[in-house]
Structure 1
């Protein structure tokens, strides 16, 4: 995205099912599990760059010796920082016993993270809190082994206050700021209850059933229990992604299928999707079961996973992103009056490259169709030169924009800072025929529009095109997200600001007042979740009207050419991504009651001038 947003976290879970000596003999290293955890996390580093953490539980540890360990980091390269520290522990031991790697039992006893159960996490701070204390996993320690818990996840909850109340916890300042703290208290509360009934053998499925029914949000969580039990669970709507792989040697779970496939070199069909409301539960003896913890509800898997968040090396995601671009071919052709001769196609940023290839395929299909029609219309009236000229016509593509290294500035004055922002991207000169060529540039999505206006459009304007068409492979982002993406303030969205401008232009400000009053009344009655009032704010306008206003808003005042914006439609989005139909940020159709509460609170914040999150 040209306007980057912080988003999904990543989860990595590994349960070794054999003794460490087995991996030494089969794979040549006693470090097999830790190596794979490192790879599994690195292959998902796109999902979190604010920090990382790992936890490990050791089985069959002598009483009195530590069995649960955790390490977290917010270094620039957090994953590398963590595993560098793990490696340094081993190197230090080798100073005194050079062959220690040949003694699995000894190594396990001295290296903290040589555990059979491992949990890794990549963090994006949706609340902007980048202290190491906010990094997962969180842990709860207890003198009773089976009451120790490590927990991590990719999620957001919208009912944290209620959760603390349900387990009679008066949260501190830190706990109030962390969804995981609330989830941890609830899960641990029921874990202790179960352990009282079945000492050292708590029923993990029962713990999750009692806990998960209280959570309002989307989640993919993993947990390690001190007695050797462990679990991975997904929310009832399947909002957050969850995949697993099981072999005789190990049990693995992660946020992305491709990460598992690459790390363990396995086929697509060997990696399974954990279905909505299910949990993968592994007992202390290494046996496992897939349990239906919550009744599955309508599948609302996050469509942004397919558009942008997940890595595109998964073949299904690659095909879907390509189709997103292809589906935009017709509206783009209409906008350029089918004039491919004087149109140049490009993409910004690099994450939009696959959608660009899909759009390009659509243009090529149209051009080939025209070639066939023209050649057929000639009959026998052509020569080799005429035929060659027609056959050799190509879609014009150029690397128009180049993103420079991340620019930082010490300048604090707004005017100077804005001037610096213009240079985040640079252009390839000489690629455009001034005043004649139209530029078509595809982006994954348009969130705030700030980078488009202050950098991209102004920069492209130096090439003096006839027109610029910005194409978004996602629909208009109109509503906040509360299930893992850092999009919680309505005023940040260019689509919302466009609707507000239209309301003002048409003298409809009374609609805003009415909707604000409705929200306040619902809040007084404790019914903010009843309906999404912001839908009614968009209702008077067509998607095309809002797109036209967005184009105006992202056009700098000193630009003398036309800027147009084309968005993916909801229908074509679902056509391209049929299994991930979660679209609440586009449609306002939230899968849980908390969604309506969040969007209405965000609207109240906007109307009251409060620059704070809606949850």
Structure 2
């Protein structure tokens, strides 16, 4: 999962991009980047690390221009490393830079086509670079010195016929403006807004509406599935449906975990959807154990807090913040490597003993993926003196990999894959485990917008909405995503990045 933002302003947009990326930091903590355009010249800064660490005053001073895009990354397809920080850039045609959230499911085929048919070279294993080169190639076919909005839309329509998967993108075309587009299923989120200034209207496109709040933008609406938005450098807004077949099936896991609760997605309040998750989960608990002996509900911070509050209220039991979070440790779900995740749980959370001692505790989390976090937290609760430790998941069992941009890994690393609820309960060491039903999870989200009738629930059902995911693809994904292979791949990328840096330094020394 990544976060993207694009701005067309009336003055320098670097600070707007920076502020928006800080609001999207929860979507990726591996790398960050900003690219701006002044006239026909690009300026860029990107590197591994958090937004606050990647950008310094000297960087902001050279990131001038009234049009720009930004990105925060965590690795899914491909590897991690400095060479893979976004935005990516190609110089032909026009000069195009792109930032991407999501994952293509036919990357290998399209990469081969780009090389054999289009004679385009790819420098990384990132599907984002593939997507950028397909867009560039389709624009090249138009062969116009001064493309119009319709030309850009035509290129995006042709591009969407070549690629499959879940994606939301912002792209900057030197001297022309900002492009933004969303996959035909609307799996990955994308919204756009505006603000009025004395100089005129400014526009912003972002992964989540929360990015607008910090810089004073008003949400216009979501980019529709298969729709493209083009905003010229002068601030003219154009939109068009570019996909011949489009159907809104957004990723429901955004509502479970990834999105901030203060965001609106497809007209649905993430906060209210999580409240409803808690209420429905409470109803399941009362159905299974009407005479439960739960003394206190304790959320695992932060994304389960809203559901936990609603659950406790519905059950009529105490809600307590029994786990204190170290806010300088990243989200363990998106950390590479199982050993690093295990180590980080103890660094990240510390129990308040008086909230556990002698009590029957119901721990609440948004979901259970690998089971690493909940195993250790349950053990921590017992060490803090809990009498019994129950565990509630606001989402159903995660049994299948995600192929649309979330690093839910190989199926064999998912604790619920091939296990019953009772077996998962024993594996994590709980006295009782209760999951949200899929029907209740869907209802909790769809209640916020009656026009959204379907969601991508593939991590729970194994049914992939793009219709092109078979067992062979999943086996290939397993090989690429399991922790052992990712460590090998990351080391190779790091060696390659260091070699490129060394070559750059040698060339600079020779030039000097």
The TM-score normalised by the length of structure 1 is 0.69
The aligned runs of 1:382-531 (5 Å cut-off) are 395-404=317-326, 425-432=349-356, 434=358, 437-453=359-375, 455-498=376-419
Whether the aligned pair in 2 keeps the contact of 1:157 and 1:179 (CA below 8 Å) is: yes
| C-alpha distance in 2 between matches for 1:151 and 1:181 | 8
| C-alpha distance in 2 between matches for 1:214 and 1:301 | 21
Question: Is residue 68 of structure 2 the alignment partner of residue 68 of structure 1?
Answer: no
| C-alpha distance in 1 between matches for 2:27 and 2:345 | 25
Is the alpha carbon distance of 1:399 and 1:601 closer, same or farther for their aligned partners in structure 2, counting shifts above 3 Å?
same
Deviation beyond 6 Å, 4+ runs, structure 1: 170-173, 405-408, 417-421
The aligned runs of 1:6-45 (5 Å cut-off) are 8-16=1-9, 18=10, 20=11, 31=12, 33-45=13-25
| C-alpha distance in 1 between matches for 2:347 and 2:292 | 31
Q: Which has the higher strand share?
A: 2
| C-alpha distance in 2 between matches for 1:484 and 1:161 | 16
Per mean C-alpha deviation after superposition, the further-off stretch among 417-426 and 479-488 is 417-426
Determine helix, strand or coil for the equivalent of 2:355.
coil
Question: Is residue 95 of structure 2 the alignment partner of residue 157 of structure 1?
Answer: no
Q: How much does 1:465 deviate?
A: 3.8
2:38 matched to which residue of 1?
58
Determine helix, strand or coil for the equivalent of 2:399.
coil
Determine helix, strand or coil for the equivalent of 1:327.
helix
Question: Is residue 136 of structure 2 the alignment partner of residue 212 of structure 1?
Answer: no
Is the alpha carbon distance of 1:171 and 1:491 closer, same or farther for their aligned partners in structure 2, counting shifts above 3 Å?
farther
Question: Is residue 81 of structure 2 the alignment partner of residue 81 of structure 1?
Answer: no
Whether the aligned pair in 1 keeps the contact of 2:122 and 2:130 (CA below 8 Å) is: no
Is the alpha carbon distance of 1:407 and 1:178 closer, same or farther for their aligned partners in structure 2, counting shifts above 3 Å?
closer
Question: Which of these residues, 286, 296, 318, is aligned with residue 344 of structure 1?
Answer: 296
Is the alpha carbon distance of 1:458 and 1:125 closer, same or farther for their aligned partners in structure 2, counting shifts above 3 Å?
same
Q: Deviations over 1:526-547 (max 9, x none)?
A: xxxxxxxxxxxxxxxxxxxx11
Is the alpha carbon distance of 1:34 and 1:461 closer, same or farther for their aligned partners in structure 2, counting shifts above 3 Å?
same
The aligned runs of 1:198-347 (5 Å cut-off) are 198-201=144-147, 203-247=151-195, 248-266=200-218, 270-314=219-263, 316-339=269-292, 343-347=295-299
Question: Which of these residues, 109, 113, 122, is aligned with residue 63 of structure 2?
Answer: 113
Is the alpha carbon distance of 1:211 and 1:420 closer, same or farther for their aligned partners in structure 2, counting shifts above 3 Å?
closer
Determine helix, strand or coil for the equivalent of 1:328.
helix
Q: How much does 1:39 deviate?
A: 1.4
- When Rg is computed on C-alpha atoms for both structures, the one with the higher figure is 1
The TM-score normalised by the length of structure 2 is 0.82
Is the alpha carbon distance of 1:77 and 1:425 closer, same or farther for their aligned partners in structure 2, counting shifts above 3 Å?
closer
5+ residue gaps, structure 2: 331-337, 447-451, 487-512
2:308 matched to which residue of 1?
356
Q: CA RMSD in A?
A: 2.9
| C-alpha distance in 2 between matches for 1:478 and 1:191 | 40
| C-alpha distance in 1 between matches for 2:242 and 2:344 | 52
Is the alpha carbon distance of 1:49 and 1:85 closer, same or farther for their aligned partners in structure 2, counting shifts above 3 Å?
farther
2:497 matched to which residue of 1?
none
Question: Which of these residues, 566, 582, 594, is aligned with residue 434 of structure 2?
Answer: 566
| C-alpha distance in 1 between matches for 2:295 and 2:281 | 15
Determine helix, strand or coil for the equivalent of 2:101.
strand
5+ residue gaps, structure 1: 1-7, 21-30, 62-66, 90-111, 365-394, 409-413, 499-545, 556-561
Is the alpha carbon distance of 1:186 and 1:421 closer, same or farther for their aligned partners in structure 2, counting shifts above 3 Å?
closer
Aligned length: 459
1:106 matched to which residue of 2?
none
